[in-house]
Amino acid sequence: MKELFLTEEQNGVSREQLEKILDELLEQYAPGSLKKVLIIPPDYTRCYSYAGIITQILYKKLGDKIHVDVMPAVGTHMPMSEDEMQKFFGDVVPRDRIIVHHWQTDTIRLGYVPAEFCAEVSGGLFPEKIDVEVNHLLVDGGYDVIFSVGQVVPHEVVGMANYSKNIFVGTGGREMINKSHFVAAVCGMEKALGVIDSPARKVYDYAQQHFIDGKIPMLYIQTVTTAEGDDITLRGIYIGTSRRPFEEAAKLSQKLNIVHVERRAKKVVAYLDPDELKTTWVGNKGVYRSRMMIADNGELIVLAPGVRAFGENDETDGMIRKYGYKGTPYVLDLYKKGVFDGKIMCAAHLIHGSSEGRFKVTYATKPELLTKEEVNSIGYEWVDYDEAVKRYDPFKLKEGWNIMPDGEEIYFIGKPAIGLWKCDD
What integer is the mean pLDDT of 89-97?
Answer: 95
The pLDDT of residue 18 is above 80: yes
Nearest Cα to 73, choosing from 55, 100, 38?
Answer: 100
The pLDDT of residue 219 is above 80: yes
Give me the pLDDT at residue 405, please: 95
The pLDDT of residue 30 is above 90: yes
Nearest Cα to 401, choosing from 237, 247, 266, 214?
Answer: 266
What integer is the mean pLDDT of 20-29?
Answer: 98
Mean pLDDT of the chain: 95
- The angle subtended at Cα 298 by Cα 295 and Cα 299, nearest 5°, is 130
Give 163-213 pLDDT, tens digit per residue. Answer: 999 999 999 998 999 999 999 999 998 889 999 999 999 999 999 999 999
Nearest Cα to 273, choosing from 103, 425, 415?
Answer: 415
Give 370-407 pLDDT, tens digit per residue. Answer: 999 999 999 999 999 999 999 999 999 999 999 999 99
Nearest Cα to 360, choosing from 296, 404, 422?
Answer: 296
Give me the pLDDT at residue 106, please: 95
Cα–Cα distance for residue pair 209/206, rounded to 1 Å: 5
Q: Report all structural domains of the chain as residue ranges with CATH numbers, in order of start.
A: 4-258 (3.40.50.11440), 262-423 (3.90.226.30)
Give me the pLDDT at residue 324, please: 97
The pLDDT of residue 257 is above 90: yes
The pLDDT of residue 230 is above 80: no
Cα–Cα distance for residue pair 335/26, rounded to 1 Å: 48
Give me the pLDDT at residue 141, please: 96
- The angle subtended at Cα 323 by Cα 321 and Cα 327, nearest 5°, is 125
The model carries a pTM of 0.91
Per-residue confidence at 96, pLDDT binned at 50, 70, 90?
Answer: very high
The pLDDT of residue 101 is above 90: yes
What integer is the mean pLDDT of 361-367?
Answer: 98
Nearest Cα to 127, choosing from 199, 211, 207, 177?
Answer: 199
Give 269-324 pLDDT, tens digit per residue. Answer: 999 999 889 999 999 999 999 999 999 999 999 999 999 999 998 999 999 999 99
Q: From the CA atom positions of the chain, what is the Rg in Å?
A: 21
For 240, list phi and psi in degrees, rounded to 5.
Answer: 170, 180
State how far the alpha carbon of 9 is from the alpha carbons of 84, 226, 256, 257, 322, in Å.
29, 10, 9, 12, 46
Residues 282/275, Cβ–Cβ less than 8 Å: no
C-alpha dihedral sign at 295, 226, 74, 120: negative
Give 123-177 pLDDT, tens digit per residue. Answer: 999 999 999 999 999 999 999 999 999 999 999 999 999 999 999 999 999 899 9
State how far the alpha carbon of 332 is from the alpha carbons of 1, 324, 342, in Å.
46, 13, 15
How many alpha carbons lie under 13 Å from residue 133 in its C-beta half-sphere? 23
Residues 196/250, Cβ–Cβ less than 8 Å: yes
Per-residue confidence at 22, pLDDT binned at 50, 70, 90?
Answer: very high
